[in-house]
Amino acid sequence: MSELLQFLFSGLTVGAVYALVALGFTIIYNASDVVNFAQGEFVMLGGMITVFTYAAGLPLPLAALVAIVATAAIGVALNKLAIEPARGAPVVSLIIITIGASIFLRGVAQVLFGKQIHRFPSFSGDAPFRIGGATILPQSLWVIAGGIAVFFALYLFFTRTLTGKAVLATSNNRLAAQLVGINTNWVMTLSFALSAGIGALAGVLITPITNTSYDVGIALALKGFAAAMLGGMGNPKGALVGGILLGIIEAMTAGYLSSQYKDAAAFVIILLVLFVMPQGLFGAKQTERV
C-alpha cells in the first residue's frame, strides 16, 4: 500500500512538472494556433537566470523574479523579431520559426551559461514529508501548488477578463477580432510575455528537483507537448490534467511493470487517447461553418 502511495507521489511530482510546461503552451496556442516549441527554452532560461542571479548574491525570491521578468522580455523579443515579421505566413511556418528560435536560445545559453548542470536549493529544505509510509519532498508540493495556481489564474484570465477573451477572439479569427477593435499585435505580444513568464516560473519551481542545464528544454518541451496533447491543446484544464496523468502513468509503469517501458507506455497511452478522441481529453470539437 505504501508502495502505491509512493508511486502516486512520484507521479504527482513529475506530472506537475509536465503540467507547468504544458500550461505555458496554452496561451500562445490560444492566441495564434501556434505551438511554440521554444517553450522548453523559456523553462530553461527561468532556471538558468535564477541560478546565476542567485549565485551573484541576490536573495532567491528576487533572483526568481528577475528570471521571470527577463524571460518574459525575451518572449516579447521573440515575438517582435521573429514571429511578427512573418505574419501572414502559414501556421506551420510559424511553428518552424519557433523551432529555430529554440535552437538559437539553446546556443546562446550554452555560450553564456556554460555546459555544466546547475541547481539552487529547494525553497523549504529537503526534509521529506512522511504520509502513510511514503515520502514526498516539500519542493514537489511547491511545484504542484504552482501548477494549480497557474491553472486557476489562466482559467480566470480566459473566462473572466476582457483581455483573455480578446486573446481567444484573436485566435478564433484574427481579421474579425481586428474589426471589432482588438489590437491583435498587442494580444500577441502579451501572450508571448505571459507564456514566457509562465515557462520561467516553471523553471524556477522545478530546478531544485530536476536540475538545469542549457539543453534541458528539449526533453521538457517534448513531455510538456505530449501532456498538452493528451489533455487537449489550448485548454488550461487539459494541460493540468494531461500533465499529471502522464506523470502518474510513467510512475505506475516504472513501479509495477518495468522501468524500461516507462516512456514507451506513456506515449502508447497518448496515441490510444488521440485515436479515440483526436482533440484530447478536454479539447473542444471544432466546427467549421460554411
Partner 1 sequence: MTLRNLMMTAATCSMAAMPALADINIGASISETGPAAFLGDPEAKTLRMEVEKINAEGGINGEQINLIMYDDGGDANKARTFATRLVEDDEVVAVIGGTTTGTTMAMVPVYEDAEVPFISLAGAVEIIEPVNEWVFKTPHTDRMACEKIFEDMKAQGFSKIGMISGSDGFGKSMQAQCKGVAESSGVEIVADEVYGPQDADMTPQLTNIKGSGAEAILNSGMGQGPAVVTRNHTQLAIEAPLYQSHGVASKQFIELAGTEAAEGVRLPAAALLVADQLGDDNPQKPVVQGYRDAYEEETGEDVSTFGGHAFDALYILKAAIETAGSTEPAAIRDAIEQTAGFVGTAGEVNYSAEDHLGLTLDAFEMLEIKGGEWTIVE
Binding site for partner 1 (CB under 8 A): 3, 6-7, 9-10, 13-14, 17, 110, 114-119, 121, 126, 128, 135, 137, 206, 209-211, 213, 215-216, 219, 251-252, 254-255, 259-260, 262-263
Place of cell 496533447: 229
Q: How far is the CB of 6 from partner 1 (least distance, A)?
A: 5
Sequence-separated (6 or more) residues with CB below 8 Å from residue 212? 44, 47, 48, 51, 117, 118, 119, 203
Minimum distance, C-beta of residue 240 to partner 1, in the bound complex (Å): 17
Distance CA 166, CA 169 (A): 5
DSSP 80: I
- The rounded Cα 163 to chain-centroid distance in angstroms is 21
Give which of 194, 197, 214 is closest to 107, Cα–Cα.
214
Between 13 and 53, whose beta carbon lies closer to partner 1?
A: 13
Nearest residue (CB) to partner 1, 173 versus 258 = 258
User: Which of 33, 83, 39 has the alpha carbon at shortest distance from 197?
Assistant: 39
Continuous H helices in 33-161:
39-55, 60-78, 91-113, 138-160
Give whichever of 171 and 253 is closer to partner 1, judged by the CB atom. Answer: 253
- Residues in CB range of 282: below 8 A, 6 or more apart: 231, 232, 235, 237, 238, 241
Q: How many CA atoms lie within 13 A of 225 on its CB side?
A: 13
Read out DSSP for 232-283? -TT-HHHHHHHHHHHHHHHHHIIIII-GGGHHHHHHHHHHHHHHH-TT-SSP
In the DSSP assignment, the letter for residue 84 is G
The least CB distance from residue 274 to partner 1, in Å, is: 22
Of residues 63 and 177, the one with the C-beta less far from partner 1: 63
Q: Compute the least distance from the CB of residue 145 to partner 1, in Å.
A: 17
Residue 21: its H or E element? helix 2-32
In the three-class reduction of DSSP (H, G, I as helix; E, B as strand; rest coil), residue 134 is classed as strand
Closer to partner 1 by CB, 3 or 84: give it.
3
Question: What is the closest distance, in whole angstroms, from the C-beta atom of residue 256 to partner 1 in the complex?
Answer: 9
Nearer to partner 1, 164 or 199 (CB): 199
- Report, in Å, the least distance between residue 216 CB and partner 1: 7
| Residue 57 beta carbon to partner 1: minimum distance, rounded to whole angstroms | 17
Q: What DSSP element (H or E) covers 129?
A: strand 129-131
C-beta closer to partner 1: residue 167 or 254: 254
Nearer to partner 1, 147 or 234 (CB): 147
Shortest approach of partner 1 to residue 34 CB, angstroms?
25
